[in-house]
Amino acid sequence: MKFCKNLQRIVEISDPAYSPFFVNYRMLKKLIKELPSLVPTEESSSKGSVDAILSDEKRPDSPELFVQQQRGDNTEESKAASRFAAVVADVPNHVPESVEQRKEELGKSPGEIAFFKLLHSEFRKATFFFEKAQQEFVIREERVREGFEIIKQPNSIMVNEKWSLMAKTIFKLYRDLLLIETYAIMAYCAFSKILKKHDKVTGH
């Protein structure tokens, strides 16, 4: 929420022409909240997977094994313990399969598709605006240099007024460069933070 407020504050103090081109961070964040999570809970990652695999196996603490222990059947006890250890050792081999399946389901979910469509749209919008601004600043810089060379000529008239106008032009160019630099920084932070938030929420 803190970054969202900071972004909104930057939008308010920037040039009004920049406003439509800032990243729609609030909407991206809203779409993330609707995505399913791939982060396993303790119950689903440990007990659930072991119980599913051991549904047909004898455990060392099962009633049947307890009866065998009372009879002094150590052979059956060792066999049951071996089976239990072998099955538990195989649990990690089963977990990735379920995770991969959930990843495929997440990739096909409408929420995930909507999120990345909006993300790509915002990225194209930001890059288009920044590249266009760069081209504009190159032209403005060339004009400032040309004007500076004209003023330096000895036959120039109204030199004082022209220097004052040149100073204002340079100051405006400098101010706009700071604004576009701030825009680029905020856009980079917005994309970086929203992708980290997506990975944290979905576990993908």
pLDDT in tens, 77-104: 555 555 545 544 554 544 445 656 666 6
Question: What pLDDT, in 10s, does the model give residues 104-123?
Answer: 666 677 888 899 999 999 99
Cα distances (angstroms) measured from residue 48 to each of 44, 103, 189: 5, 19, 39
Query: What 3-state DSSP class applies to 27?
Result: helix
Which of 36, 31, 30, 34 minimizes the C-alpha distance to 99?
36
Q: Is 23 left (phi over 0), alpha (psi -120 to 50) or beta?
A: beta
With 80 as the cut, is the pLDDT of residue 184 above it?
A: yes
With 50 as the cut, is the pLDDT of residue 46 above it?
A: no
Q: What is the mean pLDDT of the chain?
A: 76
Entry pTM: 0.64
Residues composing the chain = 204
- 1-15, 157-171, 183-197, range with the lowest pLDDT: 157-171
With 70 as the cut, is the pLDDT of residue 128 above it?
A: yes
Query: What 3-state DSSP class applies to 36?
Result: coil
With 60 as the cut, is the pLDDT of residue 65 above it?
A: no
DSSP string, 112-179: HHHHHHHHHHHHHHHHHHHHHHHHHHHHHHHHHHHHHHHHHSTT-SSHHHHHHHHHHHHHHHHHHHHH
CA dist., res. 129 & res. 133, Å (int): 6
